[in-house]
Amino acid sequence: MTRALFIIDVQNDFTEGGALGVDGGSAVAAGVTGLLARHPELYSSVFASRDWHDIGNDNGGHFARDAAPDYVSTWPVHCVAGTSGAEYHPALATDAVTFHIRKGQGKPAYSIFEGTTEAGETVGALLAARGVTDIDIVGLATDHCVRASTLDALEHGQHVRVLTDLIAGVAAGPSEAALAEMAHAGAVLATSHAVATDAERADAGTGTDS
Ligand SMILES: [Zn+2]
């Protein structure tokens, strides 16, 4: 078993005060940093994605132009490449990040699998090269990019856990629906505390089949 962590879109524009700020976003940033500081041994590699849109165009209809955004498929301008809104939240410590993934250049992209590294490597290829079989997913937002990334990871044959205390959604109802959909598709919903406790038990030799 080789496990990776996906940190989805923990960026200034998706956290409080950002163009598309999600309540609880800053707490997610700090929580992910805490988990990696306490348990760096949990993950063989860490992938962090950023929405990274073009400046000066509507990114394939992703940015609302002539009408108000519908917050389903059109959005306020956000995460424009090179702006502070596109940067990681300052509470997210990125020293543990192995692969920085950018997505959404000129088009909508909700799943981390739609992105690449700066060198053009795809997430699927990197997972295969590293022999990753299991993925934990944290980040923003539950009802959009976390959902899409989780469903894609399952499609890629990964065993997936969504760490429910380290995600935050745009809207409550859709976030609940997204969690139910991810669980139905095969994702395990777990807290970071439970995951860390399991790992400690396994380290102590008292684990069962993990
Ligand atoms: Zn976007």
Query: How large is the C-alpha radius of gyration of the chain?
Result: 17
Ligand 1 (ion): which residues have CB within 5 A?
51, 104
Residue 11 is predicted with a pLDDT of 98
How does pLDDT run across 129-147, given as a tens digit for each residue? Answer: 999 999 999 999 999 999 9
Query: Which residues have CB under 8 Å from 100's CB, separation 6+?
Result: 48, 50, 94, 117, 118
Ligand 1 centroid vs 30 CA: distance in angstroms? 22
Closest CA to 81 of 62, 103, 113: 103
Cα distance from N-terminal residue to C-terminal residue, the chain: 9
Closest CA to 111 of 97, 122, 121: 122
**Residues involved in catalysis:** 9, 103, 145
Ligand 1 centroid vs 5 CA: distance in angstroms? 21
Residue 206 is predicted with a pLDDT of 57
Query: Which residues have CB under 8 Å from 98's CB, separation 6+?
Result: 45, 46, 47
Can you give 4-50 as a three-state secondary structure string? Answer: EEEEECCEHHHCCCCCCCCCCHHHHHHHHHHHHHHCHHHCCEEEEEE
CA 62 to the chain's CA centroid: 19
Residue 110 is predicted with a pLDDT of 97
Enumerate domains of the chain plus CATH numbers: 3-203 (3.40.50.850)
Ramachandran angles phi, psi of 54, nearest 5°: -70, 150
* Interior angle at CA 25, CA 137 and CA 195, nearest 5: 35
How does pLDDT run across 65-112, given as a tens digit for each residue? Answer: 888 999 889 999 999 999 999 999 999 999 999 999 999 999 999 999
Ligand 1 centroid vs 128 CA: distance in angstroms? 27
Model confidence at 209, pLDDT cuts 50, 70, 90, reads low
How does pLDDT run across 95-104, given as a tens digit for each residue? Answer: 999 999 999 9
Ligand 1 centroid vs 141 CA: distance in angstroms? 11
| Average pLDDT score, the chain | 95
Ligand 1 centroid vs 97 CA: distance in angstroms? 21
